[in-house]
Structure formats: structure tokens, C-alpha cells
Structure 1
Amino acid sequence: MIGLVAIGLIVVLALWRAGKSETGWRFAPLRATGVIAGVVFRICVIVASIVFAFFFAAVAGALRSNF
């Protein structure tokens, strides 16, 4: 449920930001798609960074405990 609310908020925010341009709402869905893709890319980069940090910490911990 929380995920659906978050996705809904991202879509509403993207449409709102896309409609703020000088051309108005004519091409807002296309710009909103770009905004959503940018947000999803940023979230994926953040999640991948956190996963990499955990992996690196686990490997470092394993190597440290063996010596």
C-alpha cells in the first residue's frame, strides 16, 4: 500500500512539474514520462549504491575475520 501511494505521488509530482513549462499542458504527459524516468533512475542509483556498500562491508568483514 505504501508503495502504491509513493508511485502515485511521483506521478502527480511529475505531471505537476511537467505542466509548469511555458507551453502549458500540451506535451505534459511526454515530459512527465521523462521526469518519472529520471526519478526512477535516481532511486535505482541510490539503491544500487546502498547494496554495493553492504556488499563491500560484508566482503571486508569476511576478509578481516580470516586473518
Structure 2
Amino acid sequence: MIALVAIGLIVGGALWRAGKSESGWRFAPLRATGVIAGGVFRIGVVVASIMFAVVVAVAIGALRTTFQ
């Protein structure tokens, strides 16, 4: 239920932001889709960067250990 509220707030915010332009609300849903897609892409890039950093750190840690 909390996820649905969060998704609703994100979509509502994107529509509100997209409607504030010189062309008004006519193309707001299309622009809102672009805003949401851009946000999802940014989040994906951040998550992928963190995962890559963890993999590199684990690899470096494994290479530095001494196998005795």
C-alpha cells in the first residue's frame, strides 16, 4: 500500500511538473512519461554504479588476501 502511495505521488509530481510549461497541460502526460523515465534511468545508473563499486571492492579484497 505504501508503494502505491509513493508511485502515485511520483506520477502526480511528474504530471504537475510537466504541466508547468508554455504549452500547458495538452502534452503533460507525454512529458510526465519522459520525466518518470529519466528519473528511473538516473536511479538505475546510481544503483548500477554502487553495485559496480561493491564488485570491484570485493575483487580487490579477494586479490589482497593471502591464501595460507
Paired-residue identity, %: 76
Secondary structure in 2 aligned to 1:37? helix
Shift of 1:12: 1.3
Structure with the greater alpha carbon radius of gyration? 2
Unpaired stretches in structure 2, ≥5 consecutive residues: none
Q: How many Å separate the matches in 2 of 1:21 and 1:12?
A: 16
Runs of 4+ residues deviating >6 angstroms: none
2:49 is equivalent to residue 49 of structure 1: yes
Aligned counterpart, 2:9:
9
Shift of 1:16: 0.8
Q: How many Å separate the matches in 1 of 2:41 and 2:11?
A: 14
Unpaired stretches in structure 1, ≥5 consecutive residues: none
Aligned counterpart, 2:40:
40
TM-score, normalised to structure 2's length?
0.87
- Root mean square deviation, CA, Å: 1.5
Shift of 1:6: 2.9
Q: How many Å separate the matches in 2 of 1:29 and 1:42?
A: 20
TM-score, normalised to structure 1's length?
0.88
